[in-house]
Structure 1
Amino acid sequence: MHARFVRGAVRSAAVAAAVTGTLTWAPAANAQPSEPTPSTSAVAADTPAADAGSVEITTRATAGDVLPGAAFLLLDSAGQEAGRGTTDAQGKLTFPDLTPGVYRLKETASGSPLYEVVADQDVIVTPGATTRLTITDSYKAAKVLLQAKDDKTGKLLSGATVNIGTGTSTLLTVTTGAKGTASGELPVSSRKTEFWVKQVKAPAGYGLYKPSKTFTAGPGAPVTVTVTNTKAATSPKPHPSDKPTTEPTGTPSTPAGRPGSETGGAMPSAPGTATPDTDASSTASASSDGDSTPATPAGSLAHTGADATPWIAAGAGIFIVAGAVTLVAVRRRRAAESESDSNSKTN
C-alpha cells in the first residue's frame, strides 16, 4: 500500500514538471527494502574446527624426586611461541588447546642450582589427545682443578697424567700443561660423590706418585686435587777429564827362560833363609802393640801387586848373597887342599 502511494506520487510530480517546467521534489532513496548480507564471522562459526590437543610435562631429578619451578618454552613449527610456564609443586606443567602438529620444547631453567637442563626435543600433538612427557634433570658436573707439585719446593710440574674415577670406572683423564695444572668435569650421582685419583705418568725427572688418594665433590661445586712428586735419584756421569788417581804398581813375574834363571822363572829359596829375624820380630811387635793390620802368614803372599815387590827383592838379594858365600867357601877349600898337597910332597 505504501509502495503504491510512493509510485503514484512520483508520477504526479513528473506530470506536474512536464506541465509547469519545474521540478519541486524527487525521492533520493530506493523504496525497495534491502536483504541482509551474511557476515564472515557467521560463516566461520558455522564451520567446524579441528579437535585441539595438549601437552602435559612432569619434571623429576635423577633420584626420582619431583622438581618444582622448572621453566619451559613451547614453539610451533614456524618457531613462534605457543606457550610458556613453570612446573608446580608436584613438578607438573600443562599446555592446553594446541593445534595438532609438531612443536619444539625447550627447558630454560631447572629450578635448582644443582641440576642441569635437558636438551631441546620435538613434541607431537595429536587431535583430541594429551601428550605426556617426563623430563629428568641430572645433577650438574663437578669442576675439578688438578695440580702437580714438587714435594720439596712446591713448584708446579707439567707432564703429569692422572686418572680420576669412582668404583671401578675411570671417568676423567687429564695431563698438566705448561703451568702445571689441568681442569675437567666429573659427573656426579649424588650431593656428595667420592672419587679416587691415580697418577699414570710422572713429570720428566720425577718418580711416580703412588699413594692412594680420594676426594669428594658435589654437583656444580669446584674442587682442587693436588699430587706431589719426588725427584728421581740419578747417578753422576763421569767427566771426560777425570783420570784414575792410582797407578797400577804390580810387577810382572819373571818369564821362564829369562837369562840367569835356572828354575824356569821361579826364584829358589836359600836353605835356612826364611823370613828374616828382623821382619819376624817387627811382625810380632806390631801384633803385641794391638795394630789392627793382620800379620802375613809365612810362606804365602797376603797381597799381590805392590805388596809382593819387597818379598821378591829380598829373595833375590838372599839368593845372590848365598851364591857369593858358596863361591868363597869353594875357593878357600881348593886353596886349603892345594896347600895340603904341597906340604905332603915336601915331607
Structure 2
Amino acid sequence: MNIGVIYPKTGQYAEYGAMFQKGFELAKEQVNKEGGINGKTLGLKYFDTQSDAKQDAAVAPKIVADDSIIAVVGDYSSPASSAASPTFQQAGLVHYGFNNSAPTFTDTGDHVWTPQIGQDKYQKANADIVSKKAKKIAVVYIENDWGKQAYEYFKDEAEKNGTEITYTSSYLADSTDLSPILIKARDTKPDAVVNIGYGPDSALVVNTLRDKLGYTGLFFGGQETSEFLSNAGDNAEGTIITGSFSATGTKDSKAKKFVKAFNKKYGYNPGNFEVTAYQAIIDLAYGAGKTEPTRAGIQKALQTVTDFPLYQGNGGTFKFNQKTRRADNIEPILLKVKDGKFVQYDVD
C-alpha cells in the first residue's frame, strides 16, 4: 500500500523536493510506528518530475497503472500538478496537491483536492501588510499561471487598500538578468518593491535591486527556504512574506511535537514546505484509517472526515469545503527575516 509522490528531486526546484521528502519520510515513519493504516504498512513511491508540466503528464499514466498506489501527493508548482490531474481524475485516483495554491487547481474534478491556502487569502494578507508599510509600490511577478493569478489577487486587494502601483512587469522563471525591468521599477520611486515569485527568482530580484541598482527602499518577497536566505544573504534582512507555519511561533501541541521530532531527525527546524509535506501524508493516513486504505476509501475520507489534524496556521483540526475541495479554515501568517532567519511576524 503506497502513496505516490510527484516532486522535483532534480532540476531548478530540487531544493523544494528535498524539503518535501524530509517531511514525507518523517510522516511515513510515524504512521508506521503507530501501526500503519488499519494494520497495513504505508509506503511511498517517488517520481521525479522536476516539477515540469510535460514530465508530470507523462508519468501520470504509470502511477495510475500501479494498483498499490491509493493516492498521489504533489507536485511543487500548480502548473505542473495540473498537467497530471486529468489523468488521475479519469482514473478515480485522488490527487492531493498539498502545495498547490492556484485558485483553479481543483477545477479539474472531484478527485482533485488541496489543503493549501489559496492565493486569494495569501495575497490579501500580502497586500494588507504592504499597505501598512508603503503607499506607492512597484510589482514584479513570475510569468506562469500561478504568478499571473497571484498578481491579479494582489492587485485587486492593493487597489482596495488605496495602494498605488507605479510599475508592473512579469519575468520568466529562468531569467538570469532582471535589470531591464527593475531599473524601470526603481525609477518610478516606489516606497517598496513587491515580488510575487519563488525562492530562486526572488533572490535574483532583491540582489539586483540592492547590489546593482542601489535601491534602498522596502522589499517584500522571497520564500521560506535556506536557498533564498543563502542566495540573498544580507539583502534578505527585513523582508516580509506570507506563510503558513512557524516552528518557533506555533502554539499547537502536536505541531510542537512535530518540530521536536523533525529537529531530532534532521538537525534543523522545519518551515512551510516541510510541514505541508508532512501534513499531507498524515492527512491521507488519518483519513484512510477512518474509512479504508483504498483509492475509494481515500476519496470517501476527504468527503466525510471533519477533523483532519492541522499543523499549519494556528493548528487544531480542519475539514474540506466540498464545493471547492480546499481546506476551510487554514489562515496565513506573516514571516519576517530577522538576523538571517524567518520568524513569525506580528504587525507593529
Same fold (TM over 0.5): no
Aligning the two structures, in what range does the TM-score lie when normalised by the shorter sequence?
Answer: under 0.3
Between Structure 1 and Structure 2, the one with more helix by share is: 2
TM-score relative to the length of structure 1: 0.20
Higher relative contact order (CA 8 A, sep 6+): 2
